[in-house]
Amino acid sequence: MDRACILEFLRQLAANNHKAWMDEHRADYQQARGEFTALIRQLLHELQEIEPATRGLNPADVMYRLHKNDRSQRDPETYKRHLSAGLKPGGRHSPWAGYFVVLEPGGESYVGAGRWEPEPQQLARIRQEIHYNAPAFHALREAPDFVRHFPAGLDRSDALKTAPKGYDRLDPDIEWLRLKRFFVWRPFSDAEVLQPDFMKQVLAAWRAAKPFVDFLNEAVK
């Protein structure tokens, strides 16, 4: 798999992010997407041994479009600057927690796991599970392998400023109950993406994150 081809195409796209350029470089895009598809196919094959609920999925089920779906009037760019996939039961748009990989040059590539922004009902159930089963939540959050692969811990960039409805602001777990995202990720430099063991590193991170993903999916069942 030629991951250098993917990064180089995305570098060029970042500098020429408009339809006219893409039309002229459609063959380059198809080559880069083909390489990314091959990577995702292999990752899916390996992940299905870790996460049986993803069996039966194919790359088309989990790969996100390059074309932006949510452009605002102030956004001049037609395309995303990355290629990405969400490998989770039911495919990329399913409501389940799962596993993610993003390739973007400039050190913006990452591997992630969890649920980015749960729907309100799901979010309420996850908070309830943390409240009722805090020891299990903290045990998986603090597991050595989990911390080694995701040293930054859970994403806290968009937490509530106060306690969510129904919870005491002095609750000992209020720091975690205020979260609106239950997601972990770790970045990869461009050099790391090009290393022969890149796929092995991605799978090791997902393996470490599986208990966390299971906790979230059990909570929202």
15 φ/ψ sector (left φ>0, alpha ψ -120 to 50, else beta):
alpha
Q: What share of residues in the chain are helix, strand, coil (percent, to 5)?
A: 50, 15, 40
Long-range contacts: 195-201, Cβ < 8 Å, 24+? 198/3, 199/39, 199/42, 199/43, 199/46, 201/111
| Cβ–Cβ < 8 Å for 94, 119 | no
pLDDT tier at 76, thresholds 50, 70, 90: confident
Q: Amino acid letter at 71?
A: R
CA 173 to chain centre: 25
pLDDT in tens, 18-59: 999 999 999 999 999 999 999 999 999 999 999 999 999 999
Tens-place pLDDT, residues 175-190: 999 999 999 999 999 9
- As a whole number of angstroms, the distance between CA 116 and CA 198 comes to 23
**104-114 pLDDT, tens per residue?**
999 999 999 99
pLDDT of residue 2 exceeding 70: yes
Contacts with 166 (C-beta within 8 Å, 6 or more apart), sequence order: none
Give the rounded percent of residues in the chain with a pLDDT score beyond 90.
93
Say if residues 58 and 38 touch (Cβ distance below 8 Å). Answer: no
Please say if the pLDDT value at position 71 is more than 70: no
> Which tokens go with 28?
């380059």
The pTM assigned to this predicted structure is 0.94
Q: Which residue has the tokens 């080694």?
A: 148
Q: CA 52 to CA 40: how far, in whole Å?
A: 16
Domain ranges of the chain: 3-67+77-220
Average pLDDT, the chain: 95
Q: How many CB atoms lie within 10 A of CB 92?
A: 18
DSSP letter for each residue of 106-121? TTTEEEEEEESS--HH
Strands 109-115 and 182-188: antiparallel
Give the span between the Cα atoms of 215 and 96, in whole angstroms. 11
Contacts of 218 (CB under 8 A, 6+ apart): 129
DSSP bridge partners of 63: 85
pLDDT for the residue numbered 166: 93
Q: Is the confidence at residue 69, as pLDDT, over 90?
A: no
